[in-house]
Structure 1
Amino acid sequence: MDRIVVVGAGQAGASLCARLRAKGYTGALTLIGAEPVPPYQRPPLSKAYLLGEMPVERLYLRPESFYADQGIDLRLGAPVTGIDRDSRTVTVGDEVLHWDALALTTGSAPRRLPAATGGGLDGVATVRTLADVDDMAPRFAEGARVLIVGGGYIGLEAAAVAAKRGLHVTLVEMNDRILGRVAAPETAEVFRTLHRDAGVDLREGVGLDRLLGEDRVEAARLTDGTEIPADFVIAGVGIAPATDLAEAAGLEIADGIATDEMGRTSDPNIWAAGDCASFPWNGGRLRLESVGHAIDQAEAVADNMLGAGTPYVAKPWFWSDQYDTKLQIAGLNAGHDRVVRRAGKAGSVSFWYFAGDRLLAVDAMNDPRAYMVAKRLIEAGRSPDPDAVADPETDLKALLA
């Protein structure tokens, strides 16, 4: 291959390019990003960066000089507007670039509040890009009133930052409870207590009816009929895979850009990795949204682009920081029928998800030891005795024996 083009300059795209060079690829390599800044970490945006505890330079995955040093043609602020599979080209502004192999690492985009609910008013923000957070940051003034729509991890992390900054925070979750799609009630209760103790007005089973105001947000009417004042609103209602380019190019889509186990799309010359891609998993398809997955899959795809022929095997892990609590998650809890609680030291706790006697996942709060042990067990396909897990007298190391 004389030329590889990578579309999407996030964690997956940067990792894929670095891996190609590390594995000896010497051909032309172009990394194209729609944002005007070098590839950066997204998780700290809604935490340390928004709190002012991390300068922007520390967000960058690598110094910008790295790309030049590695012979990577990094093009920033340059959204790709089209892919032509027949001519093997991409269009970037007025320029047409040829490729021999193309990798799509386009990531995901935040779901927005519908215009019918006032989602187009000034003062409605999302938390996805550096520009999003820079635009939002001046609103985080002590005493300001913020409404957060959505009780997933994005919404809860934003609520934690706002509460720490002294804002008046209301969070609404239209489903019965926060974290309803991703965590057990036991984990949700830990974070519900944390937020309420921090002064967050957390309302479950209540959604947004519409935002009120002429040009900018002034208040919100909820689905229970109550109205609350709001100086600004954060929409934390999830993200969707960025598949527009792939769809327009006629690639197969299945909750993301569909790939085979190697990372190849329905076009044998086009590959995909990261948030935007779905891949075979346990007889179905899976799409993951995490830093660890973006790196691991991108590196696997880079290897396979160079002929490794090694199927990608996901090892899911995630984390969330809220107040002084660090949640670490290993595995996927889908299909569990039992949750085992294990008390740790100094108030730490972990919840272990089982399907029958098979360990699927763990949520560990301020308990890195429980997380690491469970992660090793899950990745090895081993399951400890649930009763032994629940017994605080059981040495965690013994579970690995």
Structure 2
Amino acid sequence: MLQVTNLGKAYRKYHSELNRIASWFGLPTKSVSEQWVLREISFSVAPGEAVGIVGQNGAGKSTLLKLITGTQKPSIGSVTVNGRTSAILELGMGFNPELTGRQNACHAAGLMGFNRREIEHMLPMVEEFADIGEYFDQPVNIYSSGMQMRVAFALATSFKPQLLIVDEALSVGDAAFQRQCFRRLEEYLNEGMSLLLVSHDIESVKKICSKALFINQGLNQGFGEAKEICEEYERYLFGNKNYQEDSSETSLKKDASLLDSSLVVTNELSYGDGRAVIEDVWLECENKKRVNVIGTGSVFYIKSRIRFNALVENPKIAFLIKTTEGISIYGTDTKNLKEQGGSYKAKDRILCSFRVSNHLADGTYFLNFGVKDFNSQDSLFIHRRVDVLMFRIQTSRDLNYSGLVNLNATFSMQPDLL
């Protein structure tokens, strides 16, 4: 459906506009300077295949999509598209703000090559899916970003393209409509549509896409199975920025309980009243080795070393596990576990340990750890470390569930005798 070969894009400066125009016609002319934003990008999308594109802001993802859709011309390389393409690039791109949503839908569909009869047939479907009520006949310049996305997505998908290109548009809007969009994507993919999706939502890329492309500073950092490429991107994003694939990665994929030195937190937040200090927080597997890569279904321990600087009666020790998006997955404390904290004076130190049965799904998670005053009505933190460490859950490839946790469901069936 799509073949991208050795694609590159450079922005050049010339001595004059005449030199720039001469370059358009292939005449020999020399630029003053050039800046490459994409170089040596090659990949393909088969019919019915979904490919995700991941990378940091400024990596060149949006430029790549503009080259594929033809809104920009490549400096080198080629793009071959075999089929009708629909794209949602910059939000509201191509909409006339003075026209209504209905008028914009008609004009955009006409530019896509549909005749009046086809447009009149599909317009009610666009209106129904967008579900913005009377605003569909109001000027777009009064729309919120979420309403613009609703119309743009409804228009791009109601005509059922053979290749759909989406650039971060699904990050806008309410959760219910986002889920509606993903349901439509899943339905169309099952019917043979191809998808090229740019998203910072790594879990969505893993769930929807079978393959992924990782672009880093305009270069192809990796193309392959979506799960592997997303994990490589997360290691780069949250760990060592100079990370490169090496032989240690092979052993990492074989062992479900390892210490990955690239999983380093760079934006920890720490605060408290100073009566105690959480000196260290780490994870251990059952053989008492420090780890930050844990296999699902295993047991691990959240451990900490706490130093007291003043008298503290019955401190409450707490932890919280979150996703990279900040969603709280699980947390508890010694009070909920019916554990008494004891009494500690200045210079006392304690070692704390929570035993956790791991039922988390594949992904990267963050840990908060804190010490509270058990006797305080406000439950104030004596010391709290937010995002004190990060860890990765790693399972076998053959997952028999989806979501953030594995609830170990079982199934039984018997004849109904009624």
Q: Could you tell me the TM-score, scaled by structure 1's length? A: 0.25
What's the TM-score once normalised by structure 2's chain length? 0.24
Q: Which has the higher strand share?
A: 2
